[in-house]
């Protein structure tokens, strides 16, 4: 039942894209204007032309949105008004003797449906060959301006505000204390949750450490270790080559929003290039994701018109980052699943601020852990939260 102090009106939600939106998409795909490409550069210059033409052809002639829509609608979906926005969320109650609540937050370019494969494993472990005592009540909100959550019409909806909204949502759902799990932007939101509301967060599990995380240094604190210096050098080199999208989205997100909101092929290229570059796929994106999985995610962005508002999240974070001062620490215990194809700092770097109680080097996987390696990630989440259930 909703709390009287934080009333939240929850309504069932069903995805229902009008036929005219499908017709408009097909019309635009048929009229795609393709850019030139330098032969032999493949993905070095960005999204490869041959792949994008094949993906667009598949989107137009073989991809079945209605089938994907029906599949997604099998998940229990709801919406709630929080701070003037209708926030979409998935809420799967656990099957077990004492499920604990777990709020999971997606990142960019995701929508919440990134968690589709992990939700049933977490909520009903007994039904998937695991111990029913490990069950969770899983709540997966879509970030403001992402997917089926309403687009903000005023500034200020960045990671800190999302953390405040999630706390209100969990209170309204009757959960006073809960676990937190996330990657990408969700890791920034979850860090704010654990920082602002430590008494509410039973444990924090991340499969990504935000690049903006910088612990305080100097003034008698331990000097940088060799591993920490190597990480900072690697991260800087990566950002110099791969960080153009980040600089643009964190400074002028409105400008690319015009093109990406108008062109489905342009939207697909913007997203697929990252799905390939950040995943454990050896440069072949279909080793990590099917074309249907890629296009379902892209189609959600297209039909909801949320690529601009999703990119604005970067600017909001730049204007209100989570920086730590001397003596500040994140109190709830932290578990980390470090996937090998993601850029992750050494444990010592994170321990400067966080209370790290579990750190696991994963055998495979990249930035999109819930989609690339759902079983591996779920096992880590279970292991981390097991001693925190009492």
Query: DSSP 3-state assignment of 207?
Result: coil
* Whether the Cβ atoms of residue 177 and residue 197 lie closer than 8 Å to each other: no
pLDDT at 6: 52
pLDDT at residue 2, as a whole number: 38
Which of the following is catalytic: 146, 245, 301, 314? Answer: 314
Active site residue 106: no
As a three-state string, the secondary structure of 15-41 is CCCCHHHHHHHHHHHHCCCCCCCCCCC
Q: What is the pLDDT of residue 3?
A: 42
Mean pLDDT, the chain cut into blocks of 10 residues (390 residues total)? 60 98 98 93 93 98 98 98 97 97 98 97 98 98 98 97 98 97 98 97 97 85 94 95 96 98 98 98 97 98 98 96 90 98 96 97 97 98 95
Our answer to whether residue 137 is catalytic in this structure is: no
Given the residues 91, 106, 205, 367, select the one marked as catalytic.
367
Q: Which is it for strands 330-338 and 85-92: parallel, antiparallel or unpaired?
A: unpaired
Give the predicted TM-score (pTM) of the model. Answer: 0.96
> Could you say which of 114, 124, 184, 342 is catalytic?
184
Query: Which domains can be identified in the chain, with CATH numbers?
Result: 10-18+73-248+298-388 (3.40.50.1820)
Residue 184 is a catalytic residue: yes
Distance CA 262, CA 268 (A): 11
Structure confidence at residue 1 (pLDDT): 33
């Amino acid at each position: 039942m909703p709390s009287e102090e934080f009333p939240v009106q929850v309504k069932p939600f069903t995805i229902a894209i009008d036929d005219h939106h499908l017709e408009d998409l097909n019309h635009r795909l048929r009229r795609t204007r393709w850019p030139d490409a330098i032969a032999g550069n493949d993905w070095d210059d960005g999204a490869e032309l041959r792949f994008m033409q094949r993906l667009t052809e598949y989107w137009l002639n073989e991809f079945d949105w209605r089938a994907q829509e029906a599949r997604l609608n099998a998940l229990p979906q709801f919406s709630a008004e929080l701070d003037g926005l209708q926030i979409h969320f998935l809420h799967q109650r656990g099957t077990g003797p004492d499920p604990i609540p777990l709020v999971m937050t997606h990142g960019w370019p995701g929508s919440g449906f990134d968690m589709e494969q992990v939700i049933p494993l977490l909520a009903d472990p007994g039904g998937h060959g695991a111990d029913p005592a490990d069950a969770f009540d899983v709540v997966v909100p879509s970030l403001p301006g992402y997917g089926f959550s309403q687009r903000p019409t005023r500034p200020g909806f960045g990671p800190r505000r999302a953390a405040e909204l999630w706390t209100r949502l969990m209170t309204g759902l009757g959960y006073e204390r809960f676990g937190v799990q996330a990657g990408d932007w969700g890791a920034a939101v979850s860090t704010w949750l654990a920082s602002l509301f430590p008494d509410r967060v039973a444990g924090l599990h991340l499969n990504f450490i935000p690049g903006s995380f910088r612990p305080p240094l100097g003034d008698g604190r331990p000097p940088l270790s060799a591993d920490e210096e190597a990480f900072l050098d690697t991260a800087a080199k990566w950002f110099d080559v791969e960080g153009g999208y980040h600089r643009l989205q964190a400074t002028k997100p409105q400008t690319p929003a015009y093109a990406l909101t108008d062109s489905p092929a342009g939207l697909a290229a913007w997203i697929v290039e990252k799905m390939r570059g950040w995943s454990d796929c050896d440069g072949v994106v279909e080793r990590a994701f099917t074309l249907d999985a890629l296009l379902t995610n892209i189609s959600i962005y297209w039909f909801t018109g949320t690529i601009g508002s999703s990119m604005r999240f970067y600017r909001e974070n730049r204007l209100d980052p989570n920086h730590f001062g001397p003596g500040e620490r994140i109190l709830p215990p932290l578990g980390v699943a470090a996937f090998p194809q993601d850029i992750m700092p050494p444990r010592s770097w994170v321990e400067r601020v966080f209370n790290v109680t579990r750190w696991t080097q994963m055998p495979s996987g990249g930035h999109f852990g819930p989609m690339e390696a759902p079983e591996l990630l779920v096992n880590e989440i279970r292991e981390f939260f097991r001693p925190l259930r009492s």
